[in-house]
Amino acid sequence: MIIAAADGSALGNPGPAGWAWYVADDCWAAGGWKHATNNQGELTAVLELFRATAHLDEELLVKCDSQYVINSVTKWMPNWKRKGWRKSDGKPVLNVELLKQIDEAIAGRRYRFEWVKGHAGHAMNEAADERARAVAEAYRSGSAIPAGPGWSGACAAEDGADAAAAPAASATPSSTGPSSTAPSSTAPSSTAPGAASASTFRASAEPDVPSHDDRSPADATLFDFDDPAADWLTMSIELTTDEHTRLVERARAAGTSPEEFLRGLI
């Protein structure tokens, strides 16, 4: 298995930006632009990693601190393709050209994504982040771009720089390729004693994505109402009698239904 980290950096977001993938100190590559976003850097790092390893048969484990990248590749992209690269609300998918190139690069590949918390001392993630940021700084200052050695013969023998143990916060379940089952998007329910009523509402299936999302997969699924099979997702939330009474009172005061009021809060 090839173990690598991929990361992006943008000064100002958007601004001078860089991307980097990292396997070891003698096996990494980086690049960037005078003006781009952090998400473009994150996506390009993954794209260039798949391109650099296209000639190999080993499974690729990509350590990544961006939920946007992981969700885009493993959860959202198949549905976007079916909809002509449009989101559930009909709006065009952002960064679509990069996503199309990634879609081509991963075809037939064996790969997994593993979320790691950014800026938390994870050795490989920090190495990729430092190199991506160095490129962004170089574009800002007009100095030479540190592009790295790229893939070399030494790379194939490396298992990555994971010898330095990652902190416990980064030891989360990995996100895998398209064949895996996406985590459940069911909202948490209140288990307070006396829960007597429930309000059911419909929420938009695909939220806007933050430019850099450092949440763990478990936390992220609380907010990513993302259903590849439908444009809407029905969710049930259990409320105590007091909670339901307050919800109804506030909805009436706002001149709307409890469901609409609750959707607005979400």
Active site residues: 7-8, 42, 65, 119, 129
CA quadruple 167, 155, 178, 83: dihedral sign: positive
DSSP H/E element including 156: helix 153-156
224 by DSSP, 3-state: which?
Answer: coil
**CB-hemisphere CA count at 13 Å for 37?**
10
Q: How distant, in Å, are the alpha carbons of 8, 101, 211, 230 from that of 37?
A: 9, 17, 8, 29
Asked if 207 contacts 172 with a C-beta cutoff of 8 angstroms, the reply is no
* CA–CA separation, 219 and 200 (whole Å): 22
DSSP H/E element including 56: none
Tokens found for residue 112: 């997994």
Largest CA distance in the chain: 69
Tell me the residue length of the chain. Answer: 266
Going by C-beta distance under 8 Å and a sequence separation of 6 or more, which residues neighbour residue 111? 50, 59, 60, 61, 62, 177
